[in-house]
Structure 1
Amino acid sequence: MIKPFGALVALAIVPCLAMGQQWKVNVEAGKVDREGVPVHVDLELPADAHTKPACVEQGTSRYPAQLEKQPGGKTRVWWVVDQLAKGKSEPATIKLGVDCADGKFEWKEEPGKWTQLRFDGSPLASYMHESFDPERIEETKKVYHHVFRPDGKRLITKGLGGKFPHHRGIFFGYNRITAGDRKLDIWHARKGEHQAHREIVNEFLGPVFGGHELRIDWNDREGKTFLEETRMLRVFPIDKETMLIDFRSELAAVDGPVRLEGDRQHAGVQFRAAQALAESNDGRYLRPEKWSDMPANKQFNGPDHKDLPWNALQYKLDGEPITVAYLSDPKNPDNAEFSERGYGRFGEYFPYEVTAKKPLRVHYRFWVSTNEKVTREQIERQYQDMVSPPSVVVE
């Protein structure tokens, strides 16, 4: 089964009457302890509500809120819940026109090359999208997202060059593609096939998250588009040590079925750590309980290493710890083979045939932490936040 673009949390989509400029809701934790989890609820608010600041009061805490217009006229209200114990329910009040934000996102760019997302001046992610140039294939053959530390101090992903130069940041590709009578490779992309940025459809900027919705063309060696990708990225800064990246993509066929194949080493949505890790080759993996008997300092790519709910790469840059947890939505296609490399590339692969009636939709999260002691239980909670999120119910 595949998942349509949808919500990050369970929610109630209902009309409600404002008490002045405030709305009452209940946040319900469910069966898991919650910590630093984005939540949202769709409400019928005044037409201009999304232009105003908002704040959520929950218990003794105040959280900045971000408002986003939705199709059909409703407004989505987002905030990040700091802590909520399992089984607990806590009332919250959404106050429109109240500003309790302590920071805000902005975009900086070098036109035609990259667009960088910053929070309070610190970079968190960069979208790399230089226009394809057949005279500079290696430099311009794919688009990808660079990732920074949650405090913005340095990049934690690799770009152009280094070990396996086609591995870059958070990237998506397949090395064995059949489109009609064309055999293509968007993973290595050495012969002219390439990904090309088409447009930024929408940008998200506020105190809770930043991001964008993109159109990306997957082109053959003559520059003809055979797949159209819609990619959505949202970045949530949880605190100075932690951030959450939500990645969604849809691939649609343009002129006939497209068969996507490859193997666990050369296809799928993958993360590649900074080149410094390739030089030390000492990445460690923190895996779910089922795979916990595997040595952390050994990469594993066996036949039963598939359909992992999550996997986490742990490494050091400039002597400081980094954990990147790769969380796979269970509604992604199944029989996904997972790949690990000590030099810092990891992710999952599955074959798929894209048709006009059956686009490929995928959803992943990347949880990034610079905390020295990240536990299996912490990452499992992050996974549960994705698959069994807290609910927000309108009173």
Structure 2
Amino acid sequence: MDCSHDAAQPSVGPAGVFDPPVCAVRRVFRAGLAGRKTVGFLVSHCGIGKGIGPCRLRLALCRLWQDHSLIRFGDFRVRKLAVTLYGIAHGFLIKESAAVPEQRAELHVEGEPWLGTVATPYNPAAHPDTCKVFTHLYSAYDGLPITKGAGGFDSHQRGLHIGWRSTEVDGQVFDTWHMTDCSQRHGGWLAEPGTVAAHSFIVEWCDASGGIFIREFRSLLCRHARYGARMFDLQSRLSAVDRPVTLRGDPHHAGVQIRLANEVCRRPWSTRFVLPGNAQRRRNDIVYDALWACCLADIRGKRHAILHMAHPANPGLEHMAYGIRAYGRFGAFFEADLKPGSPLRMRFRILWTEGELDAGECEAHYREYTSSV
């Protein structure tokens, strides 16, 4: 079901703060029959009175996700509740780490780690763990990542990552979001890591045989922000190698996105999103008329604010949307066409800090970004 053009608005909290889990629960209860049928399904399949084991619960949630008769009653609302519950269970029951250890190049500013770009060499025998190039954000509190790597709930979502679910190359479609039939491979450093406060490197987007269809030049330049916050400017240039490429998807499966630490999916009710005052948040957690979105989440007992900002010079802004999920994945979605010799250039700024940011503070950071770059 396509929910992108539905004008229904969610409940709005103070100063542009949206509460996805609460809104989702309200919608499910309004669905009435869908809510009762969902509860009945979980009771019957989890075996209330017999003890709910992890395997039984996981199986029930998987069945709920796949049961189209339930989806017909509650549309996306029951499906959303199912994936939220599945994410919570998955966060507690499934191993978070990947089988292949990450090979990170850390970026230090004044002796403290800020970023860690994962450049593990691609290994076809370990495709799920080595198929994507991404970057971790580090907490100023304990020097550890606040983003997720391979493993955990939705393993393909990792740190700051870029991809499109439908990437068409000369009639052949690749899924560069889930990386089921392709890979992103680190193609070398443009500047030696550690020599400057930036990571500049090449990402080769490859088909199953290793043929490169997109060559990307990605740069992450770190800067200090006000009040002790950290930020980096992302600049990416995507070039079609020898054939036209179309980049398509949807706000939850394409674009420039961030996935926070896996533990966030265990407590989605504690996650909040701060959005611009004129933003239109529509069904299925899709936000229009917004050039930034801020996620507030608890990680290792500390509240963190992560602000994702799109530069107004980016192409296709009239069709851009933010996808926001309470389990800790959010970012900017847009579509584009690549032709050999005509690269796509895009710019974003990511800012993160301990504590919370309100809408006014986020807007001030965004104005500073657009006036200085």
Is the CA contact (8 Å cut-off) linking 1:227 and 1:252 kept in structure 2?
A: yes
Amino acid at match of 1:286: V
**Inter-partner Cα distance in structure 2 for 1:194 and 1:219:** 5
Q: Give 1:154's match in structure 2, choosing from 130, 144, 153.
A: 144
Deviation of the 1:245 alpha carbon? 1.3
Tell me, what secondary structure is at the counterpart of 1:236? strand
**Inter-partner Cα distance in structure 2 for 1:217 and 1:200:** 12
Deviation of the 1:113 alpha carbon? 2.2
**Inter-partner Cα distance in structure 1 for 2:206 and 2:193:** 27
Tell me, what secondary structure is at the counterpart of 2:278? helix
For residues 99-248 of structure 1, the aligned pairs below 5 Å read 113-191=103-181, 193-203=182-192, 210-238=197-225, 241-248=228-235
Is the CA contact (8 Å cut-off) linking 1:301 and 1:340 kept in structure 2?
A: yes
Q: Aligned Cα RMSD in Å?
A: 2.3
Count of residue correspondences:
270
Is the CA contact (8 Å cut-off) linking 1:257 and 1:353 kept in structure 2?
A: yes
For residues 242-321 of structure 1, the aligned pairs below 5 Å read 242-281=229-268, 282-291=270-279, 301-302=285-286, 305-321=287-303
Q: Residues 82-135 of structure 1: CA distance to partner in whole angstroms, max 9, x if unpaired? A: xxxxxxxxxxxxxxxxxxxxxxxxxxxxx9922111234322110101111110
Is the CA contact (8 Å cut-off) linking 1:285 and 1:299 kept in structure 2?
A: no
Deviation of the 1:238 alpha carbon? 3.9
The match for 2:349 is 365
Which structure 1 residue ranges, 5 or more long, are not aligned?
1-110, 391-395
Cα distance, 1:241–1:278 mapped onto 2, change above 3 Å: farther
* 1:329 and 2:298 matched: no
Q: Residues 293-319 of structure 1: CA distance to partner in whole angstroms, max 9, x if unpaired? A: x7xxx99634xx224111100011122
Deviation of the 1:204 alpha carbon? 7.2
Tell me, what secondary structure is at the counterpart of 2:155? coil
Q: Residues 331-365 of structure 1: CA distance to partner in whole angstroms, max 9, x if unpaired? A: 21221121010001001211111012421111100
Amino acid at match of 1:347: G
The match for 1:342 is 326
Deviation of the 1:183 alpha carbon? 1.4
Is the CA contact (8 Å cut-off) linking 2:309 and 2:366 kept in structure 1?
A: yes
Tell me, what secondary structure is at the counterpart of 2:265? helix
**Inter-partner Cα distance in structure 1 for 2:191 and 2:171:** 35
Normalised by the size of structure 1, how large is the TM-score? 0.64
Is the CA contact (8 Å cut-off) linking 1:200 and 1:215 kept in structure 2?
A: yes
Cα distance, 1:316–1:112 mapped onto 2, change above 3 Å: closer
The match for 1:57 is none
Q: Give 1:355's match in structure 2, choosing from 336, 339, 343.
A: 339
Higher share in helix: 2
Normalised by the size of structure 2, how large is the TM-score? 0.68
**Inter-partner Cα distance in structure 2 for 1:379 and 1:386:** 11
Q: Residues 217-274 of structure 1: CA distance to partner in whole angstroms, max 9, x if unpaired? A: 0001110000000000011234784101111101001011111111111110001110
Q: Residues 146-175 of structure 1: CA distance to partner in whole angstroms, max 9, x if unpaired? A: 111134532110011111000000000111
Is the CA contact (8 Å cut-off) linking 1:151 and 1:241 kept in structure 2?
A: no
Cα distance, 1:353–1:163 mapped onto 2, change above 3 Å: same
Is the CA contact (8 Å cut-off) linking 2:103 and 2:119 kept in structure 1?
A: yes
